Amino acid sequence: MAPMGETTRTKDVQDELHRKLQLSRAALLSKLNDLAEYDLRRPMTPTGTNLLGLVKHLAGVEYLYLGDACDRPAPETLSWVEDGSIWDGADMWATPDESSEYLFGLYRRACAHGDRTIDELDLDSAATVAHWAPERRETTLGVLLIRMVAETAQHAGHADIVREMIDGRAGVDHDEFGGEAEWNRYVARIQAAADHFKPDPTNVTSGADVQRTQ
């Protein structure tokens, strides 16, 4: 049995990881407020990143790492997991038949399921991730919770940038920095610093020129 002080410290770590996970979940969802269906779904990067797809993906990850892997199966099935299309990226975008209400609800249910797992198990509770390599397939809730915190924070950051690309809505401290004029001055300073390293078009050699000199 672990000493009382060690047990307390471990519980403190678990509580802090859980708190960070909940904050990142809330940050992600806050980026989807007051948007039309088109803006929730449309790809905003060359690799197709979109807001509703981030929610869909994280719902599945919550059910996987904080559910199935901990021998606490999800109470609902995910069609893209059942038919295997997840391996073709089907968890990263919403089909026309998948309503935003369904995906928001799915994410909230998956998070609630994960919360119960965290509340009822310890960090050293055994877990198994079936699709991981055999040598690391057997793991613990602690490892999966760290992974879940990192993945949610990463995608919440993606959502933050995507939302700003859609309608200019930025982080919660955006207005504290100043108005539009101050932001323009700030961006201009960044651009001016970058311009010191901007390639000189007069010194760029084309592919055709290189071939002619060979």
Rounded distance between C-alpha atoms, residue 111 and residue 59, angstroms: 7
Domain for residue 95, yes or no? yes
Mean pLDDT within 40-66: 98
Domain for residue 57, yes or no? yes
Reading the block at residue 2, the tokens are 């672990």
Residue 162 is inside which H or E element, if any? helix 141-167
3-state SS class at 176: helix
Domain for residue 134, yes or no? yes
Q: Residue 44 is part of a domain; what is its CATH number?
A: 1.20.120.450
pLDDT tens figures, 134-153: 999 999 999 999 999 999 99
Rounded distance between C-alpha atoms, residue 164 and residue 34, angstroms: 13
User: Which range of residues forms the domain containing residue 149?
Assistant: 4-176
pLDDT reported for residue 19 = 98
**Residue 214's pLDDT band (boundaries 50, 70, 90)?**
very low
Domain for residue 19, yes or no? yes
Residue 95, Ramachandran bin (φ over 0: left; ψ between -120 and 50: alpha; else beta): beta
Start-to-end Cα distance in the chain: 75
Domain for residue 204, yes or no? no
Contact 161, 31 (CB under 8 A): no
For the cut 80, the answer to whether the pLDDT of residue 95 exceeds it is yes
Domain for residue 153, yes or no? yes
pTM for the complete prediction?
A: 0.87
Rounded distance between C-alpha atoms, residue 118 and residue 14, angstroms: 8
When divided into structural domains, the chain yields a total of 1
